[in-house]
A and B are shown apart, each in its own frame.
Chain A
Amino acid sequence: MEPTLSGPVSIPVRAGIGLRPPHMALVMDEKPDAHWFEVHSENFFGGIEMIGLLERVRRDYPVSLHGVGLSLGSADGLRMAHLEKLSRLIERIEPGLVSEHICWGAIGNVHLNELLPLPYTEEALDTMVERVLVVQEFLGRRILLENLSSYLEFSHSTIPEWEFVAALSRRSGCGLLLDVNNVYVNSINHGFDAEAYIRAMPADAVAEIHLAGHTRKEHLNVPLLIDTHDRRVSPEVWALFDLAVRLLGPKPTLIEWDQQIPDFSVLQAEAALAEELMHAPIAITA
């Protein structure tokens, strides 16, 4: 019997790495340099082998659980069976942070298994606030909610996205996971000022930052960026991250890479770049 974990280990204000199945064995066997790891919660819902692997990773590194399937914004109610599975995983792994998305993905019995955008309306905000309160009560902890990348806006939205995100945190008490790449992608796709978005974030509520690569869809009349997580962080997103660090202070920051996953050393190099910006001397404070 292996020793049980000795209580949650908080996520340090350092650059961590999104750990995906192709690198699990390497991380367990070689214990490479990494300040912390984040995994997708749903990858560990079934399959005893997988949970065992994650427990071993968790003995050596702080771990954050990032959900992609709870569908918090569904109009027809919270998916309780999914929440119960998440709760059991939290009890077993004792993560430093638990996060989900400001989105929906299921209606009725149909799960589209994607992170889909909400209309930014008072109804959607009320729905999200109510759900987040229930989830935090059920799990007995604060969760972080992440801003989404999106490829369309609904014409009846009445609230700017950044105000919706800030209001959700203010009204539900949830923390925010600020995905800087998603802010940039949306600023191009929907034509808003990315810097103003960052400035609208409540610094105390932002508890984590995500960074990832995106691609540009070709042969369209207007630029459309897709949040593909299949390459290095773009220079524009590094610049926006630099601004975010100066405005909000350094936060635990994660490198995400989900498709065409490269050698682990590439992820380490991206994390090192983030560290440089996080701990650079601050010349001017905003």
Chain B
Amino acid sequence: MPQSPSLLELQRAFADSMLGEHYPLAACVRPHGLKAEQRLQVYRNIVMITATDVLRTSYPAVLALVGEEFFSVAATRYLRTYPSQSGNLQDYGAHFADFLAVMPEALSLDYLADVARLEWARQQAYLAGESAPLDSSRAGAVVNSGLHLLLRPDVHLISSLHPVLDIWRFSQAPSPEGLSLGTGGQHILVWRDKDQVAMQAIDQPASRFIAALIEGASMDKAYAKATEDETEFDLQGLITLLLHHQLICAIEEHTT
């Protein structure tokens, strides 16, 4: 580090000092009664506290499941692995599920990453843009056609081999009976309902149908996906659910 670094050199070294173990910038800081490292450490602590608080707000169920101490270790390591890439902190934490999935100390909690995925989907649902719902009288005729049914931008689907919706609810309001983890996987539809986030478990064929729609498949292709293993698929029930909550925003004809 030169004695008089350029602005670019200084800012890179500052960022390294915040996210790493060392303080490459110490030689450029006036000690003024303290060690230069102590002054940089004030900033490192502030950066860490801000990032941890954002994760704490976005991932309350993960926090409840692992406890404060574990969470802050995970948050510190996450910041160093996936530093924020946005000036808007609402974007921070997008990779927390991927991080937890491979964090050695979390491997025994094999459902934890999926709980984190559900929580990120909840946040995305809350922050998604506005869209006018479809006039429901138009929806009945298009089922099982080559038309495309567009879901609102706040609609998300989380599929897990674990009962993550049950786990999420238990983490927020534990019941004395406890929670069984052996009840199989869950598919959860997540959307914004006024200023709340709503969640509902749907069955596997319905989740395959929704996943195909989100990927841009036409209605008939999505239907084929839903029924590919010949399990029973209640299309009418699912469409009724989507209409009831006004989760469809358009029906379109695609030429491609």
Give the interface of A toward B (CB within 8 A). Answer: 42, 45-49, 69-71, 73-76, 79, 82, 85, 104-114, 116, 118-119, 121, 123-124, 127, 151-156, 189-191, 217, 220-222, 224, 226
Contacts and interface: CB of A to CB of B under 8 A. Distances in A.
B143 to A, nearest CB: 30
B89 A155 contact: no
A111 B86 contact: yes
Contacts of A119: 7, 10, 28
Interface of A is mostly: loop
A113 B89 contact: yes
Contacts of A113: 47, 50-51, 84, 87, 89, 92
B8 A76 contact: yes
B245 interface: no
Nearest to A126: B7
A152 B6 contact: no
Given A75-B10, A113-B50, 18 more contacts: A45-B90, A46-B90, A47-B126, A49-B195, A70-B87, A75-B6, A75-B11, A76-B11, A82-B88, A104-B11, A109-B83, A111-B83, A112-B14, A113-B47, A124-B7, A153-B29, A154-B30, A189-B32
B28 A108 contact: no
24 contacts: A47-B127, A69-B87, A73-B7, A75-B6, A75-B8, A75-B11, A76-B8, A85-B88, A105-B87, A107-B12, A107-B14, A108-B12, A111-B83, A111-B85, A112-B18, A112-B83, A113-B51, A116-B43, A119-B10, A123-B7, A152-B29, A152-B42, A155-B29, A217-B42
Nearest to B195: A49
Contacts of B130: 48
B107 interface: no
A191 B88 contact: no
B95 interface: no
Interface string B194-225: 01000000000000000000000000000000
B41 to A, nearest CB: 9
A152 B15 contact: no
A47 B90 contact: yes
Contacts of B133: none
B28 A74 contact: no
Contact of B34 (A46, A75, A114, A222): A222
B88 A69 contact: yes
Nearest to A46: B127
B139 to A, nearest CB: 24
A86 to B, nearest CB: 10
A155 B39 CA distance: 13
A116 B14 contact: yes
A225 to B, nearest CB: 11
Given A46-B88, A107-B8, A107-B15, A154 B28 contact: yes
Contacts of A46: 88, 90, 127
10 pairs of A and B residues whose beta carbons are closest in the complex: A69-B87, A222-B33, A152-B39, A75-B8, A75-B7, A107-B11, A156-B4, A46-B127, A111-B84, A151-B42
B84 A110 contact: yes
A153 B30 contact: yes
Given A69-B88, A70-B87, A111-B86, A220 B34 contact: yes
Contacts of A190: 32
B82 to A, nearest CB: 10
A191 B15 CA distance: 26
Nearest to B8: A75
Contacts of A73: 7
Contacts of A76: 8, 11
B190 to A, nearest CB: 16
Given A48-B130, A155-B3, A110 B34 contact: no
A261 to B, nearest CB: 14
